[in-house]
Amino acid sequence: MMMDAATTAKPVAVKELFARLLSNVEKVIVGKTREVELTLIGLLCHGHLLIEDVPGVGKTTLAKTLARSLGTSFNRLQFTPDMLPSDVTGVSIFNQQTREFEYRPGPIMAQVVLADEINRATPKTQAALLEAMEERQVTVDGVTHMLPEPFMVLATQNPIEYEGTFPLPEAQLDRFLFRLSLGYPGVADEIAVLDRQQFSHPVESLGQVVTVAELKAAQQSIKSVHAAPALKAYIVEIVRRTRDHGDVYLGASPRGSLALYRGAQARAALDGRDYILPDDIKALAEAALAHRVIISPAARIRNIEPRAIVADVVKSVAVPGGSQLRDTR
């Protein structure tokens, strides 16, 4: 089904689009339905993802598969300590024939960008991504260049190997809609991977299943998914309690509330609904908030993880129901 980019897709159409994308991506990414769903929710929300996992579990393959399924451009940035900001954004070069400076785009000028091992770059280079991720533009020598649409950054980092790395600052972590981990496949899934790659990699024969126009219509559609006032208060209360938790040094920002709200809208649309349920919020709380929570030094000594704190917070907040969800629109 073809749509104009200005057309707003119905929830049923968004659900069908999601099913096509999920089916196509799972031809390559085996046994990771929840992680793929989070990726597609991030895509619908105009969001960026931080994939934190060990090497070899399919992080790069996921990004390539997503780009091929959408028929969009794809670039991979391998971050290293000697990388410069201009290696990300591009440079201006003087053209002797025209006697003018010309902008030579950097690898950030793609619709799907894989920022591989982002924590290996210096803070100065990491900061080059901030403007691109938040404002969807880059500024080189005082000239602003808009990024293509759609635009999505999938950044990866290894949670085990810290030697020679530069931890992402809180300001940059906050720019990521979700943080997720692919993890190792199960036995049957790993055997399936061996079978599918016996002769060639399945991503090489993967085709486009969704047009950019359809995607833009779906991205616009989720903004109209309804949330009862009680559910908005539920989101804010969850986020607020991350700030007041005794084991937290710094809780989630209002950007975390927005991430949880927008993600819940997308999840509802992917299920064919035009309204949010409490289950949408609970299902996304860890992915949307855990990386925004900074543990206190005392809690860090006790090996308490942010995801455990988010889970504790979600359990402690009363879930709205009944008449609280039956409001007029």
Q: What angle do CA 9, 259, 218 make, to 5 degrees?
A: 10
Same CATH topology for 11-219 and 225-325?
Answer: no
Q: Which long-range contacts (CB under 8 A, 24 or more apart) does 2-8 make?
A: 2/211, 2/213, 2/214, 3/211, 3/213, 3/214, 3/217, 4/213, 4/217, 5/212, 5/213, 5/216, 5/217, 6/217, 7/217, 8/217, 8/220, 8/221, 8/224
Q: Where are the domains of the chain?
A: 11-219, 225-325
Count of C-beta atoms within a 10 Å radius of residue 258 = 16
| CB contact burial 76-112 (16+ within 10 A = b; e otherwise) | ebebeeebebebbbbbeeeeeeeeeeebebbbbbbbb
Taking the chain (329 residues) in runs of 10, the rounded mean pLDDT of each run is 47 85 93 93 94 87 94 92 90 84 90 92 86 87 89 89 76 90 90 89 90 92 92 96 90 94 95 93 95 90 91 93 61
Nearest CA to 9 out of 268, 216, 150 is that of: 216
pTM here is: 0.88
Q: Which CATH class is domain 11-219?
A: alpha beta
pLDDT reported for residue 1: 33
16's tokens: 């069908």
Report how far residue 158's alpha carbon sits from residue 57's, in angstroms, rounded to the nearest whole number: 11
- CATH for 225-325, options being 1.10.8.80, 3.30.365.10, 3.30.565.10, 2.60.120.620: 1.10.8.80
